[in-house]
């Protein structure tokens, strides 16, 4: 087994980060977790995790100060939340260069499987694994830089990506300059621009959005399954296991808003089913395993999002 | 790196020819295509035709009749099973005995169609040294809950196709015929039994079913998309692309009966939509690219839905 790490930056999405930490342990993922934080709440959370000790390889790193090392001039000094998104790639290739493989996850992700084989694939090959972005109308093997405009336009989702840092130094260092030059969208846009500029799209292996991101949360009915005494999320009742899903599903207003964005009645039924399951998984990984968090009332009432109104 | 794709065929021709064309069309370059078959008139005519085409360079014709009496290849002759049945087991032995110097080999069924570039998976198999094998979502059993009972009931967590592996790393595959001799369910249960009995799960990389087999056909509406002038199949409009699909969809009757059987299913429209796309892709890849074959009347040429 190689030396593997997940990198997440966070300024306050504790249900996402805590859920991930619990899930990593629950599914037997043997990885380090580099938690790049900013703000007093995140500091408090980091201290709690360290004190609890349930996740041995948890490394909190304060962003402020660290980001100034080699950082281009801030457009808006002080807006650290925006810049943390870009810094995590730089961190991977500057601070974790000797790691065999790393993965960048957003803080609003929930891991739902053992994902070690993806670290291993990134470790043993020189390939970059990252999900298809199925909001984009473009494909990774045909897109042109001029067509990548706006947050949803890149052919690839930026995370979770898996790569061996030493093979992708140039790409990750190119993300911030690309963002300054292109100035549209966020790190997802900048990453696709960097891949195109350096002509390394051919090293990308798109992973299925439906098993990593679930951007279209209303297209296939998900199932919660108990397999070998563990809880899993599967595509339909006998299907492939979902590795992770994306969005702030712990926020009950997010859940309700997204249901109502789905127009077709049959898709709305699927959306209601799936969003309920996302919520349940987030609750499970925050309240029923190794470390629980203090719940913020602004996220809604935990364990009460059971029925969804299908208006 | 040296790669090969291998399949055994006893007369499917349409998907085989579609796969041959798909290898070139989707840029699966530098892969030797091993075609293992019995010595019969129709197959020989197909082989001769391929050998005269621009696809001949990578096409390796293997007539297996000469091996039929070789104890090494057919150690366990099963009464009641014909040569076509034995052919399924032969492909694993051939890979281990004859393709040892390949960095990775992919074994596909002859009733599959490739619809994408699959080169990264050869590389992953070669460099990780592991067996890439897909989840079998038709049977409802997962790998971490399988036991001998589920396997002997024919409920297998892994599909046997397509698999990618480095032959030198898996000498255990020579045991597949003997395992089948004991349970007689076929090569899929035998591979599952092998993985379980030899405790090989740490040598496996699990591939998803949805992009490689699409066993559960009613869950996603597939879409045909043209990208760089090539046809692709993706799950929903901008979604993940399939690598291959499985089933005898070149037979019009199989599609027609499948749609009729789904008549009371709540997702019946998806069955019809997806079957039609499978049918169109197989025909298109078989008939409209580098090497074409006459469409056999037995396969039918009309969908009635």
Q: Where are the beta strands (DSSP E) in A188-296?
A: 204-207, 222-227, 230-235, 244-246
Q: Six-digit token pair at B300?
A: 């039918």
Instruction: State residue B83's pLDDT score.
Output: 67
* Interface contact B216-A208, CB threshold 8 A: no
CB-nearest to B140 from A127, A135, A238 is A238
* Interface contact A132-B124, CB threshold 8 A: no
Instruction: State residue B20's pLDDT score.
Output: 98
Which H, E and C letters describe B97-164, residue by residue?
HHCCCCCEEEECCCCEEECCCCHHHHHHHHHHCCEEEEECCCCCCCHHHCCHHHHHCCCCCECCCCEE
Q: Where are the beta strands (DSSP E) in chain B?
A: 3-9, 31-37, 59-63, 104-107, 112-114, 131-134, 163-165, 204-207, 222-227, 230-235, 244-246
How confident is the model over A256-297, as pLDDT tens digits? 889 888 988 888 889 999 999 999 999 999 999 999 998 888
Instruction: State residue B299's pLDDT score.
Output: 96
Instruction: State residue B71's pLDDT score.
Output: 66
Name the H helices within A116-200. 116-124, 169-182, 187-197
Cβ–Cβ contacts within 10 Å for residue B220, how many? 25
Q: How confident is the model at residue A213 (pLDDT cuts 50, 70, 90)?
A: very high
More reliable by pLDDT, A181 or A222: A222
Interface test with A, best of B124, B159, B225, B270 (most A CBs within 10 A): B124
CB-nearest to A134 from B144, B227, B239 is B239
Q: How confident is the model at residue A237 (pLDDT cuts 50, 70, 90)?
A: confident
B265 at A interface, C-beta within 8 A: no
Return mean pLDDT, chain A: 90
Give whole-number Cα distances, A169 to A57, A97, A173, A187, B13, in Å.
24, 8, 6, 16, 47
Interface test with B, best of A100, A235, A242, A264 (most B CBs within 10 A): A235
The Cβ-side half-sphere exposure at A299, using a 13 Å CA radius, reads: 19
A263 at B interface, C-beta within 8 A: no
Q: How confident is the model at residue A137 (pLDDT cuts 50, 70, 90)?
A: confident
**Chain B positions in Cβ-Cβ contact with residue A216 (cut-off 8 Å):** 236, 239
Give percent of chain A with pLDDT exceeding 70.
92
Residues 198 through 217 of chain B touching chain A, CB cutoff 8 Å: 205-206, 208-211, 216
> Per-residue pLDDT for A309 more than 50?
no
Instruction: State residue A77's pLDDT score.
Output: 54
Ranges of residues in chain B whose predicted pLDDT is under 70: 68-69, 71-83, 183-184
Instruction: State residue B130's pLDDT score.
Output: 98
Helices (H) and strands (E) in chain B, counts: 9, 11
Q: Name every residue whose Cβ is closer than 8 Å to that of residue A44 and which is 6 or more positions away in sequence.
A: none
Which chain A residue's Cα is nearest to B123? A125
How confident is the model over B269-279, as pLDDT tens digits? 889 999 999 99
> Per-residue pLDDT for A79 more than 70?
no
| B203 min Cα distance to partner chain A (Å) | 10
* Interface contact B128-A238, CB threshold 8 A: no
Q: Six-digit token pair at A155?
A: 């052919």
- C-beta separation of A160 from A109 below 8 A: yes
According to DSSP, the β-strands at B112-114 and B244-246 are antiparallel
| A44 min Cα distance to partner chain B (Å) | 38
Instruction: State residue A266's pLDDT score.
Output: 83
Cβ–Cβ contacts within 10 Å for residue B196, how many? 19
**Chain A positions in Cβ-Cβ contact with residue B240 (cut-off 8 Å):** 132, 134, 206, 208-210
How confident is the model over A89-133, as pLDDT tens digits? 999 999 999 999 999 999 999 999 999 999 999 999 999 999 999
Instruction: State residue A310's pLDDT score.
Output: 43
| B127 min Cα distance to partner chain A (Å) | 6
- C-beta separation of B51 from B286 below 8 A: no
| B131 min Cα distance to partner chain A (Å) | 12
What is the interface pTM, i.e. ipTM, of the complex?
0.94
Instruction: State residue A182's pLDDT score.
Output: 75
- C-beta separation of A243 from A6 below 8 A: no
| B124 min Cα distance to partner chain A (Å) | 6
Instruction: State residue A233's pLDDT score.
Output: 96
Instruction: State residue A311's pLDDT score.
Output: 37
Q: In 3-state terms, what secondary structure has residue A123?
A: helix
Average pLDDT rounded to a whole number, residues A230-251? 93
């Amino acid at each position: 087994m190689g030396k593997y790490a997940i990198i997440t930056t966070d300024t306050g999405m504790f249900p996402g980060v805590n859920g991930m930490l619990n899930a990593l342990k629950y599914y037997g993922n043997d990885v380090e977790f580099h938690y790049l934080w900013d703000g007093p709440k995140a500091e408090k959370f980091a201290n709690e995790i360290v004190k609890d000790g349930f996740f041995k390889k948890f490394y909190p790193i304060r962003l402020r100060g660290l980001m100034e090392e080699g950082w281009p001039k801030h457009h808006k000094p002080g807006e650290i939340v925006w810049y943390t998104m870009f810094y995590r790639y730089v961190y991977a290739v500057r601070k974790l260069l000797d790691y065999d493989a790393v993965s960048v996850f957003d803080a609003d992700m929930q891991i739902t499987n053992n994902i070690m084989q993806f670290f291993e694939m990134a470790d043993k090959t020189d390939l970059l694994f990252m999900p298809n972005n199925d909001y984009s109308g473009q494909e990774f093997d045909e897109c042109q830089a001029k067509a990548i405009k706006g947050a949803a336009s890149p052919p690839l989702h930026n995370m979770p990506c898996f790569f061996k840092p030493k093979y992708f130094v140039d790409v990750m260092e190119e993300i911030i300059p690309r963002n300054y030059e292109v100035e549209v969208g966020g790190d997802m846009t900048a990453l696709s621009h960097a891949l195109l500029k350096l002509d390394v799209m051919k090293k990308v292996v798109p992973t299925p959005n439906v098993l990593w991101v679930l951007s279209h949360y209303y297209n296939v009915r998900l199932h919660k399954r108990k397999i070998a005494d563990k809880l899993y999320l599967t595509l339909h009742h006998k299907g492939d296991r979902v590795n992770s899903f994306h969005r702030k599903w712990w926020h009950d207003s997010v859940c309700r808003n997204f249901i109502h964005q789905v127009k077709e009645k049959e898709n709305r039924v699927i959306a209601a089913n799936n969003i309920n399951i996302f919520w349940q998984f987030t609750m499970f990984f925050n309240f029923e395993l190794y470390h629980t968090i203090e719940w913020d009332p602004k996220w809604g009432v935990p364990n009460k999002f059971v029925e969804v109104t299908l208006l | 790196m040296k790669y090969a794709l291998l399949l055994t065929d006893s007369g499917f021709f349409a998907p085989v020819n579609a796969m041959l064309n798909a290898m070139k069309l989707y840029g699966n370059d530098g892969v030797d295509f091993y075609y293992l078959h019995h010595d019969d008139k129709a197959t020989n005519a197909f082989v001769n035709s391929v050998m005269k085409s621009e696809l001949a360079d990578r096409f390796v014709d293997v007539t297996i009749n000469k091996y039929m009496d070789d104890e090494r290849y057919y150690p366990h002759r099963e009464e009641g099973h014909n040569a076509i049945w034995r052919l399924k087991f032969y492909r694993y032995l051939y890979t281990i005995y004859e393709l040892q110097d390949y960095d990775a080999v992919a074994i596909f069924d002859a009733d599959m169609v490739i619809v994408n570039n699959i080169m990264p998976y050869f590389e992953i198999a070669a460099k990780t040294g592991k067996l890439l094998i897909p989840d079998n979502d038709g049977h409802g059993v997962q790998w971490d809950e399988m036991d001998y009972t589920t396997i002997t009931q024919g409920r297998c967590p892994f599909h046997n196709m397509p698999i990618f592996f480095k032959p030198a790393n898996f000498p255990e595959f020579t045991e597949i015929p003997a395992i089948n001799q004991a349970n007689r369910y076929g090569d899929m249960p035998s591979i599952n039994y092998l993985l379980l009995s030899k405790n090989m799960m740490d040598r496996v990389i699990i591939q998803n079913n949805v992009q490689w087999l699409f066993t559960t056909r009613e869950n996603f509406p597939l879409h045909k998309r043209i990208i760089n002038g090539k046809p692709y199949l993706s799950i929903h409009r901008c979604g993940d692309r399939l690598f291959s699909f499985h089933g005898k969809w070149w037979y019009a009757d199989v599609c027609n009966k499948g749609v009729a059987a789904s008549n009371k299913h709540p997702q019946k429209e998806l069955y019809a939509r997806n079957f039609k796309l499978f049918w169109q892709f197989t025909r298109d890849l078989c008939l409209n690219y580098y090497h074409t074959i006459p469409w056999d009347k037995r396969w039918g040429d009309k969908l009635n839905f």
